[in-house]
Amino acid sequence: MNIALWIVQGILGAGFIFSGWMKAFQYEKAKKSWPWVNDVSRWFVFFIGIVELLGVLGLILPQATGIAPGLTPMAAFGLAAIVFFGAVFHVMRKEYTNIGVNIVFLVLSLFVAVGRMLY
């Protein structure tokens, strides 16, 4: 189970680093890639990106270092909340094709959160 959790944490980490970095530090590229970015404030997009990047740190570092490993499931629950509210946002905008990624990341985040609480 530990190996499966680490694999999923790596997948989540890579995905959230990609999207968080683009939202926080490549705004123009984000605007071209995701239409919703044009409809919210730049600071909100930046905030989401920073929260995602911090979430990745919480997802990996506590468990990897053994320092406060209880923070890992908390970070995973936090990232799950971000993608859940992202899915709700896309439903409100009738952007149904974008919800698939949110659902996958939600399930993976919840798997890590619950898995790290139990193992």
Q: For the chain, 119 residues long, give each residue's pLDDT as a single digit of tens.
A: 999 999 999 999 999 999 999 999 999 999 999 999 999 999 999 999 999 999 999 999 999 999 999 999 999 999 999 999 999 999 999 999 989 999 999 999 999 999 999 98
- How many domains is the chain built from? 1
What residues make up the domain containing 30? Answer: 2-118
CA dihedral 32→75→119→62, nearest 10 degrees, is 110
The pTM assigned to this predicted structure is 0.94
Cα angle, residue 47 at apex, residues 45 and 93 outer, rounded to 5°: 40
Measured at the alpha carbon of residue 92, what is the angle toward residues 91 and 93, in degrees to the nearest 5?
90
Query: Would you give the end-to-end CA distance of the chain in angstroms?
Result: 8
Q: How many whole angstroms from its chain centre is CA 111?
A: 13
